């Protein structure tokens, strides 16, 4: 029913054109028009059924079908839509889908593992909000052998540089769950975090004197990495619901609710980004063992 006014950035995100954060930047850059007038105020509201909204001159249509993909990002890809240095981006891994998808959060160029990609800008915004506290699980290989006292320091929290470059202040990390995953001269640790600061894992281990050699994310909230590097698959209804529960607030997310109803009747697909045909698992069962560390 007309009259349901919403913030412009929310409408743009629901249409699958951009994440909420990117939509806000589009407005600030003067690239959004409301009924013929350029809008640069983030608090501006509109009725998506009655008002004419244009982004870069193109008329915005209704909400896009919400899509959710689990991607196993290989090392050597940047987690951005485009890269000025022309490095490979995660968008190339899902290019065959032909949908406007955006990565939720980041894995740096040298890290690998589980990455969520979606066109549900509202859910993406809620997942990335600092207050959500989504648990993220990593396997971390370090150079050298930290002792239990040093690992306990990391569990309690350590001071790290706030930004990529030193000199912009330091911040205390939140408590983390850490256990030895595989012993060796350069051991692997399983680390669970509820925050995602810039290069946080690398900075944490550097603070106790042990550089990080490899990082692989194997869990994100209810999601578990279960596909080879470079491949991707759609989330099933249970996984979408798990993400929604992790960010629950009054009113819920209508786009996610619609996606849940569709996903409940669709088999899971696993895709190979190199162009191979999708494969289906018999019975739809999903293994819960994370990818091995090699």
Neighbouring C-beta atoms of residue 10, cutoff 10 Å:
18
Contact 262, 253 (CB under 8 A): no
Neighbouring C-beta atoms of residue 185, cutoff 10 Å:
7
What is the C-alpha separation between 115 and 225, in angstroms, rounded?
Answer: 9
Nearest in space to 115 (alpha carbons), one of 240, 194, 219: 219
Q: Is 56 a catalytic residue?
A: no
Contact 137, 191 (CB under 8 A): yes
Measure CA 178 to chain center: 22
From the candidates 4, 56, 108, 226, give the one annotated as an active-site residue: 108
What is the C-alpha separation between 31 and 57, in angstroms, rounded?
Answer: 8
Q: Which residues are catalytic?
A: 108
């Amino acid at each position: 029913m007309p009259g349901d006014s919403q913030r412009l950035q929310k409408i743009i995100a629901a249409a699958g054109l951009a994440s909420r954060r990117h939509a806000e930047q589009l407005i600030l850059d003067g690239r959004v028009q409301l009924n013929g007038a350029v809008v640069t105020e983030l608090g501006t509201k509109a009725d998506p059924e009655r008002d004419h909204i244009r982004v870069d001159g193109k008329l915005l249509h209704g909400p896009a079908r919400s899509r959710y993909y689990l991607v196993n990002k290989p090392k050597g890809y940047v987690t951005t839509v485009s890269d000025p240095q022309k490095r490979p981006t995660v968008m190339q891994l899902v290019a065959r889908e032909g949908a406007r998808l955006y990565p939720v959060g980041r894995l740096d160029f040298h890290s690998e593992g589980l990455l969520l990609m979606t066109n549900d800008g509202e859910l993406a915004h809620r997942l990335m909000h600092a207050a959500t506290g989504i648990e993220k699980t990593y396997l971390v290989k370090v150079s050298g052998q930290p002792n239990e006292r040093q690992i306990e320091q990391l569990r309690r929290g350590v001071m790290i540089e706030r930004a990529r470059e030193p000199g912009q202040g330091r911040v205390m990390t939140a408590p983390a769950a850490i256990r030895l995953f595989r012993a060796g001269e350069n051991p692997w640790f399983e680390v669970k975090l509820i925050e995602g600061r810039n290069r946080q894992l690398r900075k944490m281990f550097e603070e106790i004197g042990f550089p990080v050699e490899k990082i692989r994310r194997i869990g994100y909230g209810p999601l578990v990495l279960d596909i080879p590097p470079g491949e991707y698959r759609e989330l099933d209804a249970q996984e979408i619901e798990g993400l929604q529960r992790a960010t629950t607030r009054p009113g819920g997310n209508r786009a996610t609710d619609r996606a849940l109803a569709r996903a409940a009747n669709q088999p899971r697909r696993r895709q190979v980004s190199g162009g191979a045909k999708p494969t289906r698992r018999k019975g739809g069962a999903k293994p819960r063992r994370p990818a091995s560390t090699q």
